[in-house]
Structure formats: structure tokens, C-alpha cells
Amino acid sequence: MSGSIGNKLETALGSAIVRSKPLSGGDIADVSLLTLADGRQVVAKRPRMDQPDTTSVEKMMLKHLASKSLLPVPDVLYQTKGILVLSYIHHNGVSDGAAAAKDAARHIAALHAVRPKGGRPFYGFKKDTYIGPLPQQNKPSDNWCDFFRERRLLAMATSCARTGRLPQALMERIDNLAKHLDEFIPKAPASSLLHGDLWAGNMLIAGDRMAGFIDPAISYGHNEMDLAFIDLMGGLDPIFFDAFNEHMPIEAAFFKNRKVLYQIWPLLVHVRLFGGGYVGQVEAIIDQLGF
């Protein structure tokens, strides 16, 4: 770590950095585990030169989660342009997958019980955020169907098409599906605080419990968005859904067709980032839904 940044960090953290070790899993940032002279360990994230600086937005999202929910997330210790420093959450992987999945269900159901102020349906957030390195539009709406159509499905599909990641024929099929969303999803479900990016790498497990959740892409929306993400990429024991249902009932329509419809969103994010086989997965869902 360069001298000027290192000096600023030592001043902010109140202790000298004595060791730095790269951590895996940083797709858009260089992530390091720093050991301080006082024995603490912290995580430093620095966006790569070819990626947007999302550090201030991530700081805001983590602070919102910490202030509005009991979800275990890292403490924000320091942030300035080009660097974010967080408390390190110790985790050593899974020893009991079923127990860890049940604990995840407890935490995520409690997160989804957090509602926006005012008591009325509200979908979106006070500002736009990011999912990974990609902009996530959050202009609020009081109609979930409209919000999902414009701010999630069409926004990301259009970005994929404009960058050559999505064939025009498939874009036209997604446009057609978008016109019929009210046949599948409700206009005014309960508004839940969503983590927004619940894939396996963002859920830290310590044996039989969830140690923490990282790298959020928050907004308020239909909680089934998070559930669909977990089903697609969460890597949790299938008992998660039975356990979640005990805390917060899951409607039958989720398993019938809403789950796969909502999975188009994270798949389009992956199409935009990586292309390849994710296009085929989107196409298979469009086929399944009859469009």
C-alpha cells in the first residue's frame, strides 16, 4: 500500500499497518486483509483502474443496513476516494449446511421485515446504487410492476443489448414479456429492505451460522427478488426455503413462475458482465414463461 494512503489509514484507524495479504473474490476491486499493530484485522477495498469507484455508495449502503436492520454487516471504518476500509468478519466455511441455511433464513426474513417509512408501498431507494460495477436504477415508484419493468428488467436488458451482449431477437422477446408483467407479479406487494446481491460469495458462513453479509446492492422491493437470487446463486442448503417460510410465508406463485421471472434480473447482470452461457439461461426462462 502506497505511503500516502497507508499514512492516512494509520491515522484514521489509530494503529500502524504491519501486514497486508490479498483476499480472493474481488471482481472489481483489489481486496486486502490488513493486520494492525494493535492486533485488529480490517479489510481494504480499492477499485481497479478500469472500474467505477463505488466506495462511497457501498459505505452508504452498509450504513443503511446497519442502522435499519440487524443484518450482520461489516462496520465502515474509513472511506475516501478510491478506498473503503471495513471491519473483518471472521468466517471459516460451512460445517453444517442445514443449520447455516436455517440461520440465513432467520437473518434474511428479519431484513425483509424492515419496511420503508410511511407505511405505504414504496419501491426503489433514495438514490441510485450499484450491483457490482453496474449502475442500479432506484428512482422510486408506488407500483412494483412498473418499477421492476423499468428499473430492473428493461434497464439491464437495454444495457446488455446496447453493448452487444444480448441478441436483438432476445431483446424483443424481453420487451414483449415486459408488457405482460402484471400477469405474473403483484403491483403492490409489501415493500422489504433487500440486500440485492445474495450470491454465495456475499454470504459469509462460520460453521453452522451466518457470520455476515457483504457487498450489498440495496433497495426496497418485493422480497421474492432476494429469494430468487438465493435459489439461483446462493449455494445454501435447500432447507433454506422451508426455514424462511416459517418466519415469513412464501406465496405459492413464487415457486410456480415468479421465481424464474425474478431470476432474469441477476442473469442479465451476468450477461452484461460476462456474456456467454448466461444468455442461454435468460432465453430458457423466456421460453418457460411462454414468450
**Sequence-separated (6 or more) residues with CB below 8 Å from residue 75:** 66, 86, 87
The angle that helices 97-112 and 239-247 make with each other, rounded to 10 degrees, is 40
Q: Do 291 and 261 touch, CB atoms closer than 8 A?
A: no
- 54 by DSSP, 3-state: which? coil
Is 175 assigned a catalytic role?
A: no
* Set 96, 146, 182, 197: catalytic member: 197
In terms of phi and psi (left: phi > 0; alpha: psi -120 to 50; beta: otherwise), the region of 215 is: left
Query: For the chain, what is the total number of helices (H) and then of strands (E)?
Result: 11, 12
Among all chains, which residue has been given the C-alpha cell 475516501? Answer: 80
CA pair distance 156, 163, nearest whole angstrom = 11
Residues taking part in catalysis: 197
